[in-house]
Chain A
């Protein structure tokens, strides 16, 4: 049965405008869903009082005829975003009790446009992970289950709480962040739409930093239109983030419905991996057919440095993380574990406060930046990164409008299934997404089909810098051909 919380953001906008329901009713509907879905562990903090107060304000605005772009739309916020006076701990023990006295630019933009905050969403600790299992608050369970099995599955990561909450109707849309695939991979695992915009499109100010040259905020939403609506509000140039770009934010929704007729879609041969599951291969073929049927021209392209993106990423990202996470010292915020002297206090605090994956990445980062290794590792990785970006530049210069690839090498896997795997096996989840971060490009994941076991799979479109509109256009064509993928059974409620 379709209820108020099954509406998309576009439908909420219409329904509130026509006074079919109130923003308070809508917020209460979501708060009730959240209460029944605690077993999924999608939220690390719920903010019902804030939600109801913001919704009441929205109802006043609607009554007064001064509704804003996202008036009354209930959103979940990834715990990586600083929200004033509210739990903002990057799902880490080391930020215990941290309540910022400021608001991130992205969330401030959303509240400026009338959105309503439901709470903070679970994630991998400091956004380091691809399964949401590194969270201090425990893993998130994917609302999807395989046909004929009750075994819990991961929602992907790091924005696993965001993706699970959107799929399970625990928010109308969510903020997320993507450093190597953390928006697109969980979106693909949950049948939702996630877009990582161009580096610099959204301000990073007030978002807990992981790898500053790669991190970007973006939305996870029910459909392509909702993602377009949310990104329009989230994106801005910001004097507080000098890497945010002073390019006007287009009306992404206006790009919808333009189709792909005459566009040139690139198909990189390097994304055809040895041993790629037949279902992924088939999905990719299907995506090509859909775009071709809609009038696009398919063009085989080569991105020769693709295979080096993941190893280069595992130098650049940990290196930047080791610098960014130096600030967690037990002095200014969060956890402090005493020691005999100041150094012992730092060491004890950081040993207790960071989880295993975070400690591992800090050590790798510290090592590759240490004297004698900086050139061999870090500088070489940044040179390879320049080559990865050049591959894309050349493809776009040759007239390619967007690139179509699978979003992930598999569907969602079992909770704890990777517990004994080597770190590299987990890192391979990001094999199709990480190149996009290395090149700073926009990428969108759109649900495109189900596996034989009934689990969602996604396709990825990669665009030119600041051409998110193209991704929404082409993404919508896939969405219309593939149909929607709501979770069939709310087994947790």
Chain B
């Protein structure tokens, strides 16, 4: 499979990364190189093989369903590029 320039732009949109026309053209080549490289996986017979879920098989640990952290609003917004009090500030999203 290979991607065209429009697909690169669509994927960039999904990934929320702005790309110029020029960047899309060079990314198209790079992405196709990588997709060409991974194509060899089609040689492998994976009939009846379950996809790997966890690399080390183990029982998930249970924990008590209790609040054990919190009340740190100031810490949470401490690194925000724009904030007001204990709120993150974003461009207007609702008219």
Contacts and interface: CB of A to CB of B under 8 A. Distances in A.
Nearest to B77: A332
Interface in B30-85: 30-31, 33-35, 37-44, 46, 49-56, 58, 60-61, 63, 72, 75, 78-82
B91 A339 contact: yes
A330 B81 contact: yes
A322 interface: yes
B16 A347 contact: yes
A199 B51 contact: no
B37 A314 contact: yes
A199 B55 contact: yes
B56 A200 contact: yes
Contacts of A339: 91
A199 B56 CA distance: 7
Contacts of A246: 61
B8 A363 contact: yes
Given A331-B88, A383-B49, A98 B11 contact: no
Chain B contact residues, majority secondary structure: loop
Interface in B2-47: 3, 7-8, 11-19, 27, 30-31, 33-35, 37-44, 46
B16 A346 contact: yes
B49 A242 contact: no
B74 to A, nearest CB: 9
A368 to B, nearest CB: 8
Contacts of B81: 330-331, 333-336
A363 B8 CA distance: 8
A384 B44 contact: yes
Contact of B63 (A239, A350, A376, A382): A239
A360 interface: yes
Given A315-B38, A363-B15, A380 B46 contact: yes
A386 B49 contact: yes
A387 interface: yes
Contacts of A482: none
A351 B19 contact: yes
A230 B80 CA distance: 34
Interface stretch (A59-67, A254-262, A266-274, A304-312): A304-312
Contacts of A344: 18
A242 B61 contact: yes
A29 interface: no
Contacts of B46: 380, 383-384, 387
A381 B31 contact: no
A134 to B, nearest CB: 14
Nearest to A244: B61
A101 B50 contact: no
Chain A contact residues, majority secondary structure: helix
A367 B3 contact: yes
A301 interface: no
A225 B75 CA distance: 39
B31 A370 contact: no
A364 interface: yes
A380 B43 CA distance: 11
A144 B15 CA distance: 39
Contact of B49 (A239, A354, A387): A387
B40 A311 contact: yes
Interface string A35-73: 000000000000000000000000000000000000000
Contacts of A366: 11, 14-15
Contacts of A127: none
Contacts of B3: 367
Nearest to A201: B56
Given A341-B91, A423-B34, A359 B79 contact: no
Contacts of A97: 79
Contacts of A362: 15, 17
A427 B46 CA distance: 24
Given A380-B46, A387-B44, A424-B37, A213 B55 contact: yes
A329 interface: yes
Contact of B91 (A345, A383, A427, A439): A345
A336 B34 contact: no
11 contacts: A242-B60, A245-B56, A308-B43, A331-B80, A342-B93, A362-B15, A363-B31, A367-B35, A383-B44, A383-B52, A465-B56
Interface of A: 97-101, 198-200, 213, 239, 242-243, 245-246, 305, 307-308, 311-312, 314-315, 322, 326, 329-336, 338-348, 350-351, 354, 359-360, 362-364, 366-367, 370, 373, 376-377, 379-387, 389, 422-424, 427, 438-440, 465
The 5 closest A-B pairs by CB, nearest first: A440-B55, A382-B51, A333-B79, A336-B81, A347-B18
Given A314-B38, A385-B55, A387-B46, 7 more contacts: A99-B78, A101-B72, A308-B43, A336-B81, A367-B3, A367-B31, A382-B52
